[in-house]
Structure 1
Amino acid sequence: MTPAKLFALIQYPIPHHLLSRLVGCLAECRVGWLKNALIKLFIKQFKVDMSEAVEPDPAVYPTFNAFFTRALRVDARPLEDGLVCPADGTLSQWGRIEEGRLIQAKGHRFNISELLGGDPLRASTYRNGSFATVYLSPKDYHRVHMPLAGTLTEMVYVPGRLFSVNDSTTRHVPGLFARNERLVCHFETEQGPMVMVLVGAMIVAAIETVWSGQVTPLSGRVERIRFDQPITLERGAEMGRFKLGSTVVMAFANPLELDAVSPARDGGIEVRMGQQLASAS
């Protein structure tokens, strides 16, 4: 048995939510010496470039979470043309959705209906569209931005587990993104319907959006929230953030050719928020 498979297997019996909430409490700690020690250790361990931050002094942040979700300077992530990457991270999988199925990792596919919380009508919109998955590691900038301008039509909270979403786990836990707790955000864009799924993960204490604040954790059932007043966000605008690392899965109803990256590969490609992924046509 490989170390990666063993790591995936030992996650099954772990109390994911309890562990994540405990870490979340620590990340909100305001005891000065403790939060400063955590931030300094994190910066050293993951080689975080604080020169990109609006506030480069780690001691100024009131909590670890405030540091982790820090804003960047406006010139740190210039927007390129077309459809842009929503976050810093690794573009792990991308391509066409084939008969409603997406690639999770080599040898693993999952159903978009399950990803969207068991909504076959919504899922049919994306049955033969395109998708892209961006994994945010601990070292990355953790705000999520709009790849296209869009108007929010519905937000769906889907309860689930909180497996790690790193490469080792995605290779060995079937249907991982459709198992984990997640927030499904439906948008209408000039390129047609688009959905952005913010997938929770182990020790991710919460997911926030710019229109609702902190959303997770909610109840143990699927919750659908529609918006009577339109919420429109421009391309490149912040739409949400993770309190600790996770994954964004984007799906588009219309097929898109990702022209800023090379063809399929295992291991993924490092990307940055604002980088062009596809031409808008």
Structure 2
Amino acid sequence: MDSLFILLQHLVPQQLLSRAVGALARARHPRWLKNWVIRRFVNRFRVDLSEAEEPNPEAYATFNDFFTRPLREGARPLADADIVCPADGRISQIGDIAEHSIFQAKGRSYSTWSLLGGDEGWAERFRNGSFATIYLSPRDYHRVHMPLAGKLLASRYIPGELFSVNAVTAGGVEHLFARNERLVCYFDTEAGPMAMVLVGAMIVAGIETVWEGQVAPPPRRILHRDFSVAPAPVALGKGEEMGRFKLGSTVILLFPEGAMAWDERYAAGTPTRLGESLAALSPR
């Protein structure tokens, strides 16, 4: 069944299907259909709306509004930690980067160079560094927040395929995260340079940032933005929202060698919760 699922991933029109779902997710009418879809989604994935700022599923104008719903005040207090979890989800993989190789699953790896869209200069900064891959399931809160304070240096949108992102595809699709559509955001932080990679997936109809709005899907070409010389720098504090998924996927964090140490309780499969302790900075 896993092999059949992966085969179907190759055969379906990924972009067409995802953009069609995106159009439906933006639709406000008919209201009865929008409300029916949201309620079915809540029941199917056991979504906890008690933590939402608006707990009534029919109060959302569109499915996208429901999916990217904000949390109520105080629902995710920040731990007293150097680096906190950027999202609700589950650890897919976490550990060290071997030279430029990032472990994916079941003996499969991909390179920092390919993940970052061929940017050798930035890839070199994360040589022998640390990475964490966090998967956001359909039931999770789908806004992504800063794991520590940072100033935005650059962003890079990289077009790609739209395979589903889950344990099956991670174990069966070569270079999964370096093949899918993604947005790379580079920050200057207390830990040194940090990359936050927001990875798209099947029927993920958009990726947004708080400073630019919807970034994906734009024209199908690499788009690089330099924010280091911007007249109004983008600086975000620890725990502040930096982006969101319209239907969810994966966040990958990259840090330089020796900059920090992951909390020992995290391993593949460990649940994550926004604001909980994730890592400590290394002494300097």
Question: Once the two structures are aligned, what percentage of the paired residues are identical?
Answer: 57
Alignment of 1:6-155 (within 5 A): 6-31=4-29, 32-80=31-79, 81-155=81-155
The CA distance in 1 between the partners of 2:276 and 2:56, in whole Å, is 27
The CA distance in 2 between the partners of 1:232 and 1:131, in whole Å, is 22
The CA distance in 1 between the partners of 2:265 and 2:118, in whole Å, is 31
The CA distance in 2 between the partners of 1:179 and 1:278, in whole Å, is 28
The superposition leaves residues 164-207 of structure 1 with CA deviations (integer Å, 9 ceiling, x where unpaired) of 01110010001000000000000000110000000000000000
Structure 1 partner of 2:178? 178
Output the amino acid matched with 1:73.
R
Deviates more, 1:252-261 or 1:126-135: 252-261
1:96 CA displacement: 0.6
Structure 2 partner of 1:230? 233
The CA distance in 2 between the partners of 1:179 and 1:41, in whole Å, is 31
1:74 CA displacement: 2.2
The CA distance in 2 between the partners of 1:52 and 1:162, in whole Å, is 30
The aligned length equals: 276
The CA distance in 2 between the partners of 1:16 and 1:162, in whole Å, is 6
Structure 2 partner of 1:274? 275
Output the amino acid matched with 1:6.
L
1:260 CA displacement: 4.7
The CA distance in 2 between the partners of 1:259 and 1:208, in whole Å, is 29
1:69 CA displacement: 0.3
The CA distance in 2 between the partners of 1:77 and 1:110, in whole Å, is 33
Contact 1:5 1:169 (8 Å CA) reproduced:
no
The CA distance in 2 between the partners of 1:147 and 1:122, in whole Å, is 19
1:280 CA displacement: 2.9
1:5 CA displacement: 2.3
User: 1:259 and 2:263 equivalent?
Assistant: yes
Output the amino acid matched with 1:46.
F
The CA distance in 2 between the partners of 1:49 and 1:85, in whole Å, is 19
Output the amino acid matched with 1:155.
S
Structure 2 partner of 1:200? 200
1:254 CA displacement: 3.3
The superposition leaves residues 222-278 of structure 1 with CA deviations (integer Å, 9 ceiling, x where unpaired) of 11011213210000000000000100010001333212524x44xx11111111111
The superposition leaves residues 15-71 of structure 1 with CA deviations (integer Å, 9 ceiling, x where unpaired) of 111000110111111111111001110111111111100111111100000000000
Q: Secondary structure at the match of 1:138?
A: coil
Moved over 2 A (4+): none
Structure-2-length-normalised TM-score: 0.95
The CA distance in 1 between the partners of 2:186 and 2:272, in whole Å, is 23
Contact 2:89 2:135 (8 Å CA) reproduced:
yes
Q: Secondary structure at the match of 1:131?
A: strand
The CA distance in 2 between the partners of 1:276 and 1:168, in whole Å, is 28
Unmatched 5+ stretches in structure 1: none
Contact 1:102 1:112 (8 Å CA) reproduced:
yes
Contact 1:85 1:277 (8 Å CA) reproduced:
yes
Structure-1-length-normalised TM-score: 0.96
Output the amino acid matched with 2:274.
M
1:219 CA displacement: 1.6
